[in-house]
């Protein structure tokens, strides 16, 4: 390669290689996830009781429950969610935008809110039915968000082309639609399984001694039974299995879609409209039940729950500091979003991205946040690395949990910005930086709004890691909700529902103001 070419290549790639741009994200994820995880691994290997804990009563059953409950939740979610995603992605009909918003909303709801809502909705409350229903409610929105961009990009003409070439309806789906959507559907399924099997906030509220996931067991061992080594042994096995599932499903490569089609021009059959409308109504039910529950006491309608949450009329409830929890939640969320969104922009360039960056930024999804919290407790307890009480620790963990979600909001759109636009900008005198600023960034604006809103919502709802890392002065709103709902008798359940409603409203505001406001 001659000197001229080297100079020119450097000039063209001044915006940095994929790996270089990924460094800030790698530092964050390494600090908040990877190093704690390896600290946890070292602890398990050092203690040498990787298998001892499995012989404790109930542990193996818990692991088995995580897997089959995760599989059932995934199957139910896909059966219900995929047709709905296909319909709202491709067809125009009256009320579509509203239905789409309702179906996609649970994704950003805090898990404790979902748990509290199904506790209020399902007769008898805790148990398998409530758990699977809650997971389906939550994960249909995950399916919707992961598959919609791909479903809507399938051009009618492409399907028609297959039909004119002699493919019947089934063969068209099998030989044209499936290869084009496969990677998105598999990625969605993998994500749903992992989210269900490692479910924590929902199961803390809706589970029982026999209906409990590994994540809840890990928390109990570490915090309630004072057995962090046993918890670590469980966490290791769980994390390895989940990492394999996520890596496998996220790296399935499908055929890239290059069309800019935005859905189908065909009319949607009536049954389709009825289906998605019914589903949307079902999505609203648990929320309605939650809000109602916050006004229901043992003796009928009451505002005692709300009064208790706001510190009046304690009615036997102690340690309720709503203002403190609210302040902590908001502060952590803002810091997490300010960190996560720019890092996501830096790495959201699939064309020249490094596989390493992709892998590292999906670990916060694969390694459940309870495992992360435990890893931090175990790893960062030695000077000079005793970060357990550092002010930035919880925000950093929230940012690293939010990062993959921010990335998922941005990356699909980045992939659809034609390369030619950047080249056109260059020929018009735009430096790589200005081309990015004045062409790519404006085209990404809707995605950036979504990424910011999602990051805030993820942080507001983060419960797993926070529940292990919290101290008296860093309690957040989700922790308050769980602790209130766990109190038997008195006004606890009503107050817990009220606090959950408050968290719900807060999250809703973030989404409506940011996601809807900044999109246009």
Contacting residues toward another protein, per CB under 8 A:
2, 4-5, 7-9, 11-12, 418, 420-421, 423-432, 434-435, 438-439, 442-443
Between residues 444 and 456, which has the closer beta carbon with respect to another protein? 444
Contact 283, 102 (CB under 8 A): yes
d(CA 399, CA 334): 10
d(CA 74, CA 461): 22
Kindly state the smallest distance separating residue 130's Cβ from another protein, in Å. 46
d(CA 177, CA 163): 12
Q: Give strand pairing partners of 301.
A: 296
Kindly state the smallest distance separating residue 425's Cβ from another protein, in Å. 7
Kindly state the smallest distance separating residue 447's Cβ from another protein, in Å. 13
Tokens read off for 349: 């360039």
Any idea which residue has 């529950």 for tokens?
293
Residue 53: HSE in the Cβ half-sphere, 13 Å Cα cutoff: 26
Between residues 124 and 420, which has the closer beta carbon with respect to another protein? 420
d(CA 28, CA 146): 24
d(CA 256, CA 319): 54
Kindly state the smallest distance separating residue 511's Cβ from another protein, in Å. 24
Between residues 488 and 520, which has the closer beta carbon with respect to another protein? 520
Kindly state the smallest distance separating residue 140's Cβ from another protein, in Å. 31
445: number of Cβ within 10 Å:
13
Between residues 149 and 324, which has the closer beta carbon with respect to another protein? 149
Kindly state the smallest distance separating residue 446's Cβ from another protein, in Å. 11
Between residues 422 and 490, which has the closer beta carbon with respect to another protein? 422
* Interacting residues of 418 by C-beta distance below 8 A, sequence separation 6+: none
Between residues 429 and 489, which has the closer beta carbon with respect to another protein? 429
Kindly state the smallest distance separating residue 409's Cβ from another protein, in Å. 18
Tokens read off for 219: 């928390």
Between residues 11 and 60, which has the closer beta carbon with respect to another protein? 11
d(CA 411, CA 403): 12
Provide the 3-class DSSP secondary structure of residue 194: helix
Kindly state the smallest distance separating residue 439's Cβ from another protein, in Å. 6
Any idea which residue has 């309720």 for tokens?
320
Between residues 419 and 488, which has the closer beta carbon with respect to another protein? 419
Any idea which residue has 């941005």 for tokens?
410
Kindly state the smallest distance separating residue 8's Cβ from another protein, in Å. 5
Between residues 1 and 170, which has the closer beta carbon with respect to another protein? 1
Tokens read off for 172: 């068209």
d(CA 200, CA 207): 9
* H or E, element range at 378: helix 369-379
Between residues 389 and 438, which has the closer beta carbon with respect to another protein? 438
Contact 407, 344 (CB under 8 A): yes
Kindly state the smallest distance separating residue 411's Cβ from another protein, in Å. 19
Contact 376, 33 (CB under 8 A): no
91, 96, 279 from 273: Cα distances, Å: 10, 9, 10
């Amino acid at each position: 390669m001659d000197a001229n070419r080297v100079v020119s290549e450097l000039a063209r790639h001044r915006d940095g290689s994929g790996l270089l741009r990924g460094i800030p994200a790698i530092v964050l994820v390494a600090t908040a996830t990877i190093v704690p995880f390896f600290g946890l691994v070292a602890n398990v290997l050092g203690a040498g009781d990787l298998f001892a804990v499995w012989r404790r009563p109930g542990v193996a059953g818990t692991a088995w429950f995580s897997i089959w409950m995760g599989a059932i939740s995934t199957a139910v979610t896909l059966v219900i969610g995929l047709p709905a995603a296909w319909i709202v992605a491709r067809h125009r009909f009256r009320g579509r935008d509203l239905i789409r918003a309702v179906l996609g909303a649970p994704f950003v709801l805090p898990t404790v809110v979902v748990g509290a809502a199904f506790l209020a909705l399902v007769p008898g409350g805790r148990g398998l039915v409530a758990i699977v229903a809650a997971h389906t409610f939550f994960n249909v929105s995950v399916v919707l968000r992961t598959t919609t961009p791909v479903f809507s990009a399938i051009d009618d003409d492409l399907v028609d082309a297959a039909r004119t070439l002699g493919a019947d309806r089934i063969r068209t789906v099998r030989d044209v639609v499936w290869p084009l959507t496969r990677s998105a559907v598999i990625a969605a399924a993998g994500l749903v399984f992992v989210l269900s099997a490692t479910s924590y906030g929902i199961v803390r509220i809706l589970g029982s001694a026999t209906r409990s996931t590994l994540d809840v067991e890990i928390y109990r061992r570490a915090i309630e039974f004072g057995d962090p080594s046993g918890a670590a042994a469980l966490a290791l096995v769980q994390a390895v299995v989940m990492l394999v599932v996520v890596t496998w499903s996220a790296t399935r490569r499908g055929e890239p879609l290059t069309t800019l089609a935005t859905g189908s021009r065909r009319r949607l059959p009536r049954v389709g409209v009825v289906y998605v409308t019914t589903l949307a109504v079902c999505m609203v039910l648990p929320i309605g039940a939650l809000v109602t529950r916050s006004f229901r006491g043992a003796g009928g309608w009451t505002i005692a729950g709300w009064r208790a949450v706001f510190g009046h009329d304690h009615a036997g409830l102690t340690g309720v500091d709503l203002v403190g929890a609210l302040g902590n939640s908001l502060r952590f969320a803002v810091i997490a979003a300010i960190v996560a969104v720019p890092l996501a922009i830096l790495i959201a360039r699939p064309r020249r991205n490094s596989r390493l960056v992709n892998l590292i930024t999906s670990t916060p999804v694969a390694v459940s946040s309870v495992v992360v919290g435990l890893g931090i407790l175990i790893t960062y307890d030695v000077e000079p690395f005793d970060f357990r009480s550092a002010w930035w620790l919880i925000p950093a963990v929230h940012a690293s949990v939010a990062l993959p979600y921010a990335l998922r909001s941005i990356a699909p759109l980045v992939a659809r910005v034609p390369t030619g636009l950047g080249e056109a900008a260059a020929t018009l005198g735009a430096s790589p930086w200005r081309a990015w600023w004045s062409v790519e960034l404006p085209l990404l604006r809707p995605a950036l709004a979504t990424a910011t809103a999602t990051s805030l919502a993820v942080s507001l709802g983060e419960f797993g890691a926070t529940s292990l890392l919290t101290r008296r002065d860093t309690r957040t709103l989700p922790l308050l909700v769980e602790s209130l709902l766990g109190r038997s008798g008195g006004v606890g359940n009503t107050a817990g529902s009220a606090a959950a409603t408050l968290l719900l409203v807060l999250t809703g505001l973030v989404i409506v103001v940011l996601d809807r406001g900044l999109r246009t």
